[in-house]
Amino acid sequence: MALNADLHCHSTVSDGLLTPAALARRAKDNGVELWALTDHDEIGGLAAARDEAAALDLRFVNGVEISVSWGEDQTVHIVGLGFDAAHAPLVEGLAKVRGGRDARAQHMAAELDKVGIHGAYEGALKYAGNPALISRAHFARYIVELGHAKEVKYVFDWWLAKGKPGYVAHPWATMAEALSWIHGGGGIAVIAHPARYRLSKAQLHEMFEVFKGLGGRGIEVISGSHGEDETRECARIAREFGFLASRASDFHGPGESWIDLGKLPDLPADLTPVWSELI
Ligand code: AMP
Ligand code: MN
Ligand code: MN
Ligand code: MN
């Protein structure tokens, strides 16, 4: 039996619906044997997650999902695993990345106001709690609350994806910065949900080369946001580039995610799991 590892999820410390401790309990209940919490651009939930995981005898590694600007106004997510959470450049770098979220959110709200979605900054902030962590997921919850969409997953294509009224371009970290913060802290960098980016095959290939050149080691092969064909393609990429393979639900909360914690297919047996380097 392959290890039930789930190395990607979100708590209330970013745009998830459950606290770090509640996620630890859910992971344990779902049979997860190795778990990482990977909030967006924030590591403030790791201590609570680690404490609860220890109490439950659940193996835990530090995680984070860093927002990275790539190419012409694309955003790529890099998951860091197994780093020292006290590594100062990581702590400071993440604070800088988060620092841009509040102004971006105000700009998004101004654009949404023009198309009849009023009060979106206050509405989203109500869900986020902290302006430094406000994300499109919080805007999506507010837009559902207003009745413009039935579920969060339907909001993006109408209002928040690139090219839609509430989308605002934003400079995140560079790939080199994100990887230097993770590697400086002794961690492993993994490209999150590679099939989700709006990049051509050639552009994706270039990104994998740059990532690998900067010391990036892994990609998510099994992801809550990958279909079967996408999983096959990511497995092929892992073989081509010699990447370690990760298994990642990207769970945000009950009713808001495609896949629950730990309820994922196994990695293809010939791939080397990223956790071979973590445990
Ligand atoms: P942000 O970091 O503010 O750009 O927000 C990105 C977050 O929005 C992602 O981490 C997801 O939680 C959510 N998200 C983005 N696209 C979608 C989508 N198509 N369906 C559901 N959630 C999405
Ligand atoms: Mn998210
Ligand atoms: Mn992501
Ligand atoms: Mn995620």
Report yes or no on 190 lying in a domain.
Answer: yes
Report yes or no on 148 lying in a domain.
Answer: yes
Residues 185, 58, single domain; the answer is yes
Q: What is the number of the ligand closest to the CA of 248?
A: 4
Q: From the CA of 28, how far away is ligand 2's center (Å)? A: 21
- Looking at ligand 1, which residue's alpha carbon is closest to its atom 19? 156
Residue 139 tokens, joined: 């805007």
Domain of residue 36, CATH code: 3.20.20.140
- Looking at ligand 1, which residue's alpha carbon is closest to its atom 17? 156
Residues 91, 76, single domain; the answer is yes
Residues 245, 269, single domain; the answer is yes
**Has residue 200 got a pLDDT over 80?**
yes
Domain of residue 138, CATH code: 1.10.150.650
Residues 220, 89, single domain; the answer is yes
Residues 78, 138, single domain; the answer is no
Q: What is the pLDDT of residue 26?
A: 98
pLDDT in tens, 85-141: 999 999 999 999 999 999 999 999 999 999 999 999 999 999 999 999 999 999 999
Q: What is the number of the ligand closest to the CA of 140?
A: 1
Report yes or no on 202 lying in a domain.
Answer: yes
Q: What is the pLDDT of residue 1?
A: 72
Number of domains in the chain: 2
Q: From the CA of 146, how far away is ligand 3's center (Å)? A: 25
Residues 84, 218, single domain; the answer is yes
Q: Which atom of ligand 1 is nearest to the CA of 161?
A: 16
Residues 225, 256, single domain; the answer is yes
Q: Write the DSSP symbol of residue 220.
A: E
Residue 10 tokens, joined: 């979100």
Q: Summarize the confidence of residues 183-189 as an average pLDDT.
A: 98
Residues 271, 144, single domain; the answer is no
Q: Cβ(179)–Cβ(72) under 8 Å?
A: no
Report yes or no on 167 lying in a domain.
Answer: no
Report yes or no on 166 lying in a domain.
Answer: no
Q: Summarize the confidence of residues 189-209 as an average pLDDT.
A: 97
Report the candidate in 88, 87, 46 with the shortest Cα–Cα distance to residue 64: 46
Phi, psi of 221, rounded to the nearest 5 degrees: -95, -50
Residues 61, 188, single domain; the answer is yes
Residue the block writes with tokens 């995981």: 53
Residues 13, 144, single domain; the answer is no
Residues 76, 107, single domain; the answer is no
Q: Summarize the confidence of residues 57-84 as an average pLDDT.
A: 97
Range of the structural domain that residue 235 is part of = 5-99+175-277
Residues 179, 236, single domain; the answer is yes
- Angstrom distances, CA of residue 51 to CA of 5, 8, 19: 18, 18, 13
- The mean pLDDT of the chain is 97
Residue the block writes with tokens 């934003």: 170
Q: What is the pLDDT of residue 192?
A: 99
Report yes or no on 29 lying in a domain.
Answer: yes
Report yes or no on 165 lying in a domain.
Answer: no
